[in-house]
């Protein structure tokens, strides 16, 4: 039946489409198997396969590359690993480079063997600050790294009879593959089967031929095999009367790929109801069906070494909300971190090699600090704070990932909608500046890299240092995402197929009353006041955009710039200007120059300095063989735009938009402005009309006040 179906042209094409995306050679590489002696040869050629869990995880992070830069005048590093290159940025993290840098420093120290490899890594921060995402990325990245040639690692199986007993092997050790295969239940390193003294000699030799690419640690294969392997090893040694080489003939080494889904090297533990959970979920439990076969519940062959700490051996184990665990579970973590060993029921301490990662929120961590009985756990913990974003651009990226045009196709999101929501979120996380005259909004802009007169990079660093807990409180990104989603499915959005900042701001304000994490009325009041701050800022933004759209006549602004520069040159050189129409010499146009300079608040007392600065700037460009254009100098360009807008405003009569009657000539000019908004700023027909109407109403109110 299959052959007849596959014989059709469509079926063959579909099968070809599937097969073209399969890599059989990669599959064979990932499932390589060979003898113990083959593995020793590989260790000689590639000593890196013997790295421990911390070394492998650190290499997985830095192998993806990094980008050094400076933030708040402090050196910082952006690790590309945390942009989620494994899943097209699905779990990409934005704006937490300082926290991630501390995390990577912890891994580096552990990889070097400086002692942090005996600690529990605890990610601590408010809800929604990406703690779980960081843990997910570490697991996902380690899984991908184990699939690469550089990240390859190996475990072994025992070749025994069907009762897990010893079968004599005649001839070559390779005949062992004819027996039944019993994998190491904890995916252990094959070199653990080498006696300790001989193992040290081997490691000395392998370390001589190994130069780590990203750190200076040495290869360390420590501990003993798990109880199951120790039992098999002891039985075989007895059977072969101590002939270790024959014992190794029963060993089949195989490459393993770390996988959370397959429970190989990556484990996740989540707290549950105390009545339905016990510590055997971490360290394994007795297999009662096998007791009859092996005669005792203390026989390791009758035990399932499948707890989360068992199966996470060689990789990483994540503890979700670790401080919600019962005390009995936390005791297991003490030995697992400090001694790198766990205690399965009825068995001796069992060696493990894994990164133990937990995350928790603020209230749980405060409870831990106040609990005197948990000193041992606190002493074995390294805490890394994971705050909310306090840089606007990074916060915007979070929402663009969820609500970008590639995901939201049926509703147009007007420009600045996500920006304004992000701005409010960041404002709630900032502490009021202690410097007099500096507003919270100005502080946000400084953090975002904007220049404000009177504040240097040193000033910004001081602002950050005086508020060390900034970002540990405030509105979660999840709240913003929920309210943007509400706006997207609102009746207005469905009818108009667009949403704007005011729709989202209304959703944000409406949700504060029943926000599950806000119980303090004073905090709610402050957040509502910040919404007003954001609304005022949005009005300034769209007024500026409409002004730019109105004054976007390039020829007109070039003429205005030329006239201004000619007058400034003549003024600074104490010369006269030739009138193009009359041909006569005239004084520089002081009225024109001041009308432009006043737009950017140049006082009368500083006009000479400003004009000289402009001429020096033009001269410096000329020395570099660069040409001065009307938009070369940002301050002057802004002044020219505002001047042209003022000159054009009376002609367009924008305030007439709010009246019911608009003449044809005005409508044509307004349509031109609307098209500029659509073309230059990303509006659509509906949102451009809304913005023009709203800005017109602002100017109408302003004109009414003036009258």
Cβ atoms of 609 and 566 closer than 8 Å: no
Enter the pTM of the model. 0.85
**The pLDDT value given to residue 651:** 52
Q: For residues 300 and 308, what is the distance between their CA atoms, to the nearest angstrom?
A: 18
- The residues that bridge with 357 in the sheet, in sequence order, are 121, 318
Count Cβ atoms below 10 Å from residue 348 Cβ, excluding itself: 10
Query: Residue 127: is it exposed, middle or buried by C-beta count within 10 angstroms (0-12/13-18/19+)?
Result: middle
**The pLDDT value given to residue 165:** 63
**The pLDDT value given to residue 174:** 41
Mean pLDDT by 10 residues, the chain (707 residues): 54 82 87 95 95 96 93 88 93 94 96 93 93 96 96 94 59 52 94 94 94 90 94 91 92 96 94 73 89 84 92 96 82 89 91 95 86 84 94 95 87 95 97 89 91 81 89 94 94 91 94 85 93 95 84 78 89 84 81 89 90 89 84 82 73 53 71 87 90 82 50
Q: Encode 632-641: b = buried (16+ Cβ within 10 Å), e = exposed.
A: ebeebbbbbb
Q: For residues 501 and 484, what is the distance between their CA atoms, to the nearest angstrom?
A: 10
Beta strand pairing call for 120-124 and 355-360 = parallel
Cβ atoms of 190 and 155 closer than 8 Å: yes
The alpha carbon of 168 is separated from its chain's Cα centroid by a whole number of angstroms, namely 55
Which candidate, 256, 272, 346, 362, places its Cα nearest to that of 308? 272
Cβ atoms of 382 and 122 closer than 8 Å: yes
Cβ atoms of 572 and 612 closer than 8 Å: yes
Cβ atoms of 389 and 428 closer than 8 Å: no
**The pLDDT value given to residue 662:** 60
Which candidate, 265, 258, 235, 259, places its Cα nearest to that of 247? 235
- The position carrying tokens 């400034």 is 568
**The pLDDT value given to residue 7:** 56
**The pLDDT value given to residue 1:** 41
Helices (H), 63-208: 97-112, 131-145, 196-208
Q: How far is CA 579 from CA 382, 566, 570, 573, in A?
A: 75, 11, 12, 17
Query: Residue 703: is it exposed, middle or buried by C-beta count within 10 angstroms (0-12/13-18/19+)?
Result: exposed
**The pLDDT value given to residue 162:** 65
Q: What share of the chain is helix, strand, coil (3-state, %, to 5)?
A: 55, 10, 35
Taking CB atoms within 8 Å and a gap of at least 24, the contacts of 594-600 are 595/643, 596/560, 596/564, 596/636, 596/639, 596/640, 596/643, 597/639, 599/638, 599/639, 599/642, 599/643, 599/646, 600/635, 600/638, 600/639, 600/642
Query: Residue 137: is it exposed, middle or buried by C-beta count within 10 angstroms (0-12/13-18/19+)?
Result: buried
């Amino acid at each position: 039946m299959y052959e007849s179906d596959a014989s059709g042209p469509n079926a063959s094409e579909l099968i070809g489409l599937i097969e073209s995306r399969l890599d059989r050679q990669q599959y064979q590489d990932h499932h390589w198997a060979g003898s113990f002696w083959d593995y020793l040869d590989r260790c000689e050629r590639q000593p890196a396969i013997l790295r421990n869990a911390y070394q492998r995880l650190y290499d997985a992070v830095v192998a993806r590359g990094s980008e050094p830069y400076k933030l708040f005048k402090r050196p910082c590093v952006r690790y590309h690993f945390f942009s989620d290159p494994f899943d097209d940025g699905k779990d990409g993290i934005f704006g937490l480079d300082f926290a991630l840098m501390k995390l990577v420093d912890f891994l580096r120290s552990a990889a070097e063997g400086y002692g942090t490899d005996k600690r529990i890594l605890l990610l601590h921060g408010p809800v929604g600050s990406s703690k779980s995402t960081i843990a997910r990325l570490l697991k996902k990245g380690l899984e991908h790294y184990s699939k690469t040639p550089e990240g390859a690692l190996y475990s072994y199986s025992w070749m025994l009879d069907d009762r897990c007993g010893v079968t004599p092997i005649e001839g070559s050790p390779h005949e062992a593959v004819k027996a039944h295969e019993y994998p190491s239940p904890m995916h252990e390193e094959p070199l653990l089967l080498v006696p300790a003294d001989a193992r040290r000699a081997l490691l000395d030799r392998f370390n001589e031929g190994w130069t780590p690419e990203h750190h200076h640690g040495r290869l360390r294969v420590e501990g003993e095999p798990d109880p199951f392997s120790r039992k098999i090893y002891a039985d075989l040694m007895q059977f072969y009367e101590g002939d270790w080489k024959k014992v190794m003939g029963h060993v089949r080494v195989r490459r393993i790929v770390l996988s959370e889904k397959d429970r190989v090297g990556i484990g996740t533990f989540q707290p549950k109801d105390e009545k339905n959970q016990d510590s055997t979920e971490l360290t394994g439990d007795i297999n009662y069906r096998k007791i009859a076969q092996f005669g005792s519940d203390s026989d390791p062959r009758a035990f399932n070494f499948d707890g989360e700490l068992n199966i996470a051996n060689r990789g990483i184990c994540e503890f979700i909300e670790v401080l919600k665990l019962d005390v009995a579970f936390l005791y297991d973590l003490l030995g697992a971190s400090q001694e790198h060993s766990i205690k399965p029921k009825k068995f001796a301490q069992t060696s493990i090699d894994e990164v133990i990662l937990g995350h928790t929120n603020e209230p749980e961590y405060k409870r831990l600090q106040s609990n005197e009985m948990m000193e041992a756990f606190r002493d074995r913990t390294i805490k890394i704070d994971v705050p909310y974003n306090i840089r606007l651009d990074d916060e915007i990226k979070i929402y663009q990932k969820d609500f970008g045009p590639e995901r939201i196709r049926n509703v147009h999101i007007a420009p600045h909608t996500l920006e304004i929501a992000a701005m409010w979120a960041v404002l709630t996380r900032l502490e009021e500046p202690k410097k007099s005259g500096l507003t919270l909004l100005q502080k946000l802009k400084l953090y975002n890299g904007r220049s404000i007169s009177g504040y240097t990079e040193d000033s910004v660093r001081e602002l950050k240092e005086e508020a060390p807990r900034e970002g540990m409180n405030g509105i979660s990104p999840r709240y913003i995402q929920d309210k943007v989603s509400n706006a997207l499915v609102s009746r207005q959005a469905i009818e108009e197929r667009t949403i704007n900042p005011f729709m989202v701001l209304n959703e944000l304000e409406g949700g504060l009353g029943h926000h599950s994490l806000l119980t303090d009325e004073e905090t709610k009041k402050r957040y509502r006041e910040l919404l007003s701050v954001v609304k005022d800022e949005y009005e300034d933004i769209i007024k500026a955009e409409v002004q730019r759209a109105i004054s976007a006549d390039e020829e007109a602004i070039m003429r205005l710039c030329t006239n201004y520069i000619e007058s400034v040159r003549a003024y600074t050189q104490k010369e006269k200007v030739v009138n193009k129409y009359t041909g006569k010499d005239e004084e520089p146009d002081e009225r024109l120059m001041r009308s432009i300079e006043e737009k950017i608040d140049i006082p009368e007392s500083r006009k000479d300095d400003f004009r000289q600065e402009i001429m020096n700037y033009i001269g410096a460009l000329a020395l570099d063989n660069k040409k001065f254009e009307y938009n070369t100098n940002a301050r002057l360009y802004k002044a020219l735009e505002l001047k042209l807008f003022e000159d054009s405003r009376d002609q367009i009569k924008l305030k007439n938009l709010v009246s019911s009657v608009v003449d044809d000539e005005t409508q044509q000019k307004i349509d031109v402005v609307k098209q500029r908004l659509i073309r230059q700023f990303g509006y659509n027909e509906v949102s451009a009309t809304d913005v023009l109407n709203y800005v017109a109403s602002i100017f109408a109110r302003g004109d009414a006040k003036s009258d």
